[in-house]
């Protein structure tokens, strides 16, 4: 498997519970921060029997991700929980700081060749390598790239004392439309047993296209990368600070807290509606398979659904023709769900851009 972030870790756990030996290669370092907030929905506190029949009942993957508490949660916190669970599975071997250069397959196996020339071969190869997926290029080479949606999401975090007491009776999914065509904003709160209470904010910004292109974060129709902290120009921080002065309280205080500390991530929103999820012995899941607007709130849960489906299907084996059969069944079960989920968020982006132009 290629990719050991959220979807990749979830998938590795699901496959190991079906009795498979799972090798994961990931280009990033093992210890990694970043990301924003996630909305965690279902499966809280539930447990299941392992599909390979070994051992006692185990928490569902959704329960692991949430630690039993539904609601908004930090990306890095969820990554840490899934990493710990994957480390407890004897069938999983994860190798960090390995970059894949090429993907291939034949009638009997699939493989990833890394930049050192080492070939990692297996019965099937699964890509959980994010919205700029290399594995996707082997699954659908005529439709390889997620498309820039025309707007960005700026995100940051602030401690609870940046706006103390404000959250009383607040609904996380409430959104405000900002003045002067500045887009829309959500503020959420995380409060778990292993993290201090804090806010995170998400500004859906349709006004920064020129800046993102000048910074190289967007080229043509492709979202290339996020801008993080000090990689964001000081002039842009000044621009956000100026805008926030006109936004309603306490939204302005929460945003300015992050801006003054240059603790902000700017991500050009990409969208990818899949035409297929598998080809031969290779398949994709998570953001490699479907990239929605974050406004759907469903991208992570859809990735968990991919992982659980593949875990169930692979419990009958993946050797020989069975491997191709499993991946065909996976595509049949998950493709329409993925397509509907991405398309559900496209209307939001269109309305956001139209609001700026009016």
What does the pLDDT look like over 134-181, one tens digit per residue?
999 999 999 999 999 999 999 988 887 877 666 554 444 467 888 888
Q: Which of 261, 265, 286 is nearest to 274 (CA)?
A: 286
Q: Which of 303, 329, 301 is nearest to 315 (CA)?
A: 329
- Residues 124, 345: Cα–Cα separation, whole Å: 31
- Residues 40, 4: Cα–Cα separation, whole Å: 19
pLDDT in tens, 64-111: 998 877 777 778 889 999 999 999 999 999 999 999 999 999 999 999
- CA 15 to mean position of chain CA atoms: 19
- Residues 283, 279: Cα–Cα separation, whole Å: 6
CB-CB neighbours of 143 under 10 Å: 14
- Residues 142, 19: Cα–Cα separation, whole Å: 34
Q: Is 28 exposed, middle or buried (0-12, 13-18, 19+ CB in 10 A)?
A: middle
Tell me, what's the pLDDT at 173? 47
Tell me, what's the pLDDT at 201? 86
- Residues 224, 356: Cα–Cα separation, whole Å: 24
Tell me, what's the pLDDT at 165? 61
Which residue matches tokens 């503020």?
187
- Residues 228, 108: Cα–Cα separation, whole Å: 42
Which residue ranges does the chain devote to CATH 3.30.9.60? Answer: 147-270
Segments in the chain below pLDDT 50: 169-173
Dihedral, CA of residue 192, residue 230, residue 224 and residue 38, to nearest 10: 10
Which residue ranges does the chain devote to CATH 3.50.50.60? Answer: 6-145+272-351
| Contacts of 71 by beta carbon, 8 Å cutoff, 6+ apart | 39, 40, 172, 190
Tell me, what's the pLDDT at 174? 64
Q: Which residues pair with 105 in a beta bridge?
A: 110
Which residue matches tokens 């390889």?
144
Tell me how many degrees the CA angle 95-97-102 measures, rounded to the nearest 5: 85
CATH of domain 6-145+272-351: 3.50.50.60
Q: How far apart are the first and last CA of the chain?
A: 46
- Residues 345, 204: Cα–Cα separation, whole Å: 13
- At the topology level, CATH places domain 147-270 in D-Amino Acid Oxidase; Chain A, domain 2 (3.30.9)
């Amino acid at each position: 498997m290629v990719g050991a972030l959220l979807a990749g870790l979830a998938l590795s756990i699901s496959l190991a519970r079906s009795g498979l030996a799972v090798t994961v290669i990931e280009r990033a370092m093992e210890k990694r921060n970043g990301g924003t907030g996630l909305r965690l929905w279902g499966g809280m506190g539930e447990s299941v029997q392992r599909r390979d029949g070994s051992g006692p009942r185990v928490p569902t993957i959704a329960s692991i991700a949430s630690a039993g508490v539904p609601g908004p949660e930090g990306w890095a916190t969820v990554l840490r929980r899934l990493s710990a669970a994957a480390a407890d599975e004897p069938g999983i071997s994860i190798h960090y700081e390995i970059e894949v250069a090429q993907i291939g397959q034949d009638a009997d196996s699939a493989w990833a060749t890394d930049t050192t020339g080492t070939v990692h071969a297996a019965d099937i190869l699964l890509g959980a390598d994010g919205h700029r997926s290399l594995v996707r290029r082997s699954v659908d080479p005529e439709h390889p790239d997620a498309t820039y949606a025309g707007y960005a999401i700026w995100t940051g975090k602030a401690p609870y004392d940046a706006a103390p007491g404000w959250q009383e009776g607040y609904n996380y999914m409430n959104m405000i439309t900002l003045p002067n065509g500045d887009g829309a904003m959500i503020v959420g709160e995380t409060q778990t047993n292993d993290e201090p209470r804090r806010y995170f904010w998400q500004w859906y910004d349709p006004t920064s296209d020129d800046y993102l292109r000048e910074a190289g974060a967007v080229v043509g129709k492709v979202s290339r990368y996020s801008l993080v902290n000090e990689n964001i120009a000081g002039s842009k921080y000044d621009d956000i600070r100026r805008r926030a002065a006109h936004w309603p309280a306490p939204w302005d205080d929460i945003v300015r807290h992050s801006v003054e500390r240059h603790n902000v991530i700017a991500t050009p929103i990409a969208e990818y509606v899949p035409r297929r999820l598998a080809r031969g012995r290779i398949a994709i899941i998570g953001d490699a398979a479907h990239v929605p607007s974050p406004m759907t709130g469903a991208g992570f849960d859809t990735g968990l659904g991919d992982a659980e489906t593949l875990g169930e299907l692979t419990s009958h084996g993946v050797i020989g023709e069975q491997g191709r059969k499993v991946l065909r069944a996976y595509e049949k079960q998950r493709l329409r769900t993925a397509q509907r989920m991405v398309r559900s968020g496209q209307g939001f982006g269109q309305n956001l851009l139209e609001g700026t132009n009016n």
